[in-house]
Structure 1
Amino acid sequence: MEIALTPLEAGEYIAKQSVAVTVYVDKCQGIAKQIMDSITDGTIGDIEYKANPLHPKGLSDEQHLNWVFVLDTLNFSFWPNEDEEYYVDYKDNREVGYLAMCAAFMKAHEAEIPIYDTDWMVTVTEEALGKILVSGSGHAIPLLRERFRALKESGQWLNMKHRGQMMNAVRACGPSAQSLLRSIMTIESFRDQTMYKGTKVWLLKRAQILVADVYSLLKGSTTQEVRDLVNYVDIDTITMFADYRVPQALCHLGIMEYSPELRLRLDKKEVMPYGDEMEMEIRGCSIFAVNEIFKEVIRMRLNDYKGLDWYETKRPLFAIDIDVWLWQYRRQHAEEVEEHVPFHRCREIYY
């Protein structure tokens, strides 16, 4: 693997040189307090993997892990083209974006399509995949052909390297989140790598999400042997998942601010090329900002909250949890967030 800055290193490197995006570290304490309060009142459970009703029930750990692998292989670029919103209606709810894809696969699962089987991954046609993922409006999901290619590549990797089971990949990597991350990075569609001011950086949105989902899913297994597989002592080295939605939440909450030049590009709905300097600054500063919130959470936990009756029994919290908290905050306050700051548009497979 070639030398490049890790996501954590990249975030700090980009934030220190950023011109278009400013991070207000002094405002991280307020968000950390909100997150710590969600631990106190129990609402932190809303971000757990098992809390999502659009994840299947009744699958074995092996099947469910392959399901997660398929979802994360295709988890990119859901923002709609003009007048082509991507949505799926499922059980009286209209889901949009990533959750629309989850709903589409739940409908496929109920129709007995074995999307957790690598034979399906490598044999499904682009047309068949398109029918599964089609929007309720009749429009194709964005980047259908690229999703089809990514699915084929991931299925072939799983078959050739791990006998068709993501669980074998997890076992082969041992109790290390970084080892699993390096393994996933050998799949081309997960290699979220570009240059910023002459330095190669990894941001790895989808690869890190897959590691986080493996961790979240298997730590909830009913089998001790499976839970032991994800005793990742380095799970805290996995950063937030630099996308186009969490930066909106960070701006809305006052943690980040965009320059007038960047804001003008966003207001014009300009589609930025992958690797554009401003696009990189949005994503890199998001990683840095969430890590600063994470540091504040750790400080609060060790100082302001230590000694309370629940201190030792409440769940740990990592940067990946803060990402999900922010992502859900953006969804819950979608209208006011959109009114305050647009998302940045980059039509790319890496996020």
Structure 2
Amino acid sequence: MSDDEADPELLALLRQHFQGKLNLDEEPETGVLEGAEYVCDNSIDVALNMRASKNAAALIYEQMQQKEFSTASWSEHELHPKTKDESTVAFIFTMDLLNFSFWSLHPEEERFAISYRDKTWTGYWSLVASLQRALEEEAANKSAAGLVNLLAKDFNCFRDESRFEGRRKPVRFLKRAQILVADIWACFNGEGYGEFRDIDKITMFADYRVPQILATLGCIGYSPPLFAMIARGDILENGSDYEIQLRACSIWCVELLKREIKRQHPDAKINAILIDFFLYDTMKLLEAQGKETIPHHRTRSIWY
């Protein structure tokens, strides 16, 4: 099986899930938010600024409304799939299976790039472009939390969790498992294969770009030692206390942003997924414009 082919075992699992043939608990929980809150409450190197977060929530909601940001925004990108069938699920699975670690060790080094449709694509989009190009040349009970748990249970490459001091259970991040579910939900606009009754249980996807913009907005702050390491471009080891605090506090911060927006706008169709997508796109735009004021942290990992 080549690297760009979907695992037939996983496709069978997904097919069973969407046909409602899996024996899932009535109301499964991923445990991601619970672990994030615990780490945030016990964090000494990453702190949330509640006033800045409240202001950021208002700003984020205003801009999302102005841009009419929704699940439809996902499919609007020229590289994301436009078809809505089982092959699309296989494409998204392959995409998110390979979706990690796109940053360069040295900023001055030449980045990996893909030429496709008369454009050059780098980072995440180089992956999507390569899959689309390959396709052209070669050719659940409806529970979001339940599907995330199945992915983490049956496939080691989705079991993104770490041990944090003072907590018996591992802290679960499940970035790629959650983003797989979120991409399917967004691609199908919450219908058909993308219909999940508990999609709001999916949290922000703990990577390195969203923490960067949360810090830029002042929603999270770093201890002097951690800030110095990030500013120097030092590597934060995967599973270290620094990295766990940074990822967990980002998850909890986006959860609080969501709650504040819902408090101010009870009828708003908003969740952590849409906020994550919006913040990620905004940070990438700032990067393209050369307006980054705080660097992102650097962790070489298969998880993000």
Do both proteins adopt the same fold according to a TM-score greater than 0.5, normalized to the shorter chain? yes
Matched-pair contact (CA < 8 Å) for 2:58–2:261: yes
Residue aligning to 2:204 = 240
| Whole-angstrom distance in 2 between the partners of 1:267 and 1:81 | 14
- Alignment match, 1:88: 114
Q: What pairs with 1:147-162 in structure 2 (closer than 5 Å)?
A: none
Alignment match of 1:182 (pick from 126, 136, 149): 149
Aligned CA-pair RMSD: 2.2
Runs of 4+ off more than 3 Å: 228-231, 335-339
Change (3 A) 1:228 1:106: closer
Which secondary structure does the structure 2 equivalent of 1:334 belong to?
helix
Q: Which letter maps to 2:276?
A: D
- 2:34 pairs, out of 1, 4, 9, with 9
**Aligned-pair identity (%):** 34
The TM-score with structure 2 as length reference comes to: 0.82
Alignment partner for residue 172 of structure 2, among 182, 202, 212? 202
Identify if the C-alpha distance between structure 1 residues 337 and 22 changes in structure 2 by more than 3 Å, giving closer, same or farther: farther
8 Å CA contact 2:30–2:148 kept in 1: the answer is: no
Contact kept, 8 Å, 1:71 with 1:102, in 2: the verdict is yes
The corresponding residue for 2:271 is: 318
What does residue range 121-136 of structure 1 map to in structure 2 within 5 Å?
none
Unaligned regions of 5+ residues in structure 1, if any?
A: 114-172, 221-226, 303-310
Distance 1:30 1:247, change over 3 A: same
TM-score (norm 1): 0.72
Structure 2: tracts of 5 or more residues without a match: 1-28
Q: What do the CA deviations read for 1:180-225 (whole angstroms, capped 9, x no partner)?
A: 11111121000001101142110111011011112112336xxxxx
Report the counterpart of residue 15 of structure 2 in structure 1: none
Could you say which structure has the higher helix fraction? 1
Q: Distance in 2 between matches of 1:230 and 1:339?
A: 34
Instruction: Name the counterpart of 2:103.
Output: 79
Q: Tell me if structure 2 keeps the 8 A contact 1:272–1:346.
A: yes
Question: Does 2:160 align with 1:104?
Answer: no
Q: Are positions 1:216 and 2:190 aligned together?
A: no
The range that moved more, 334-343 or 15-24, is 334-343
Matched to 2:155, the amino acid is: I
Q: Deviations over 1:43-100 (max 9, x none)?
A: 314872211211233x451001100000010111111132142222333433221111
Distance 1:40 1:345, change over 3 A: closer
Question: Partner of 1:334 in structure 2?
Answer: 287
- In structure 1, the partner of 2:22 is none
Q: CA deviation at 1:228?
A: 4.9
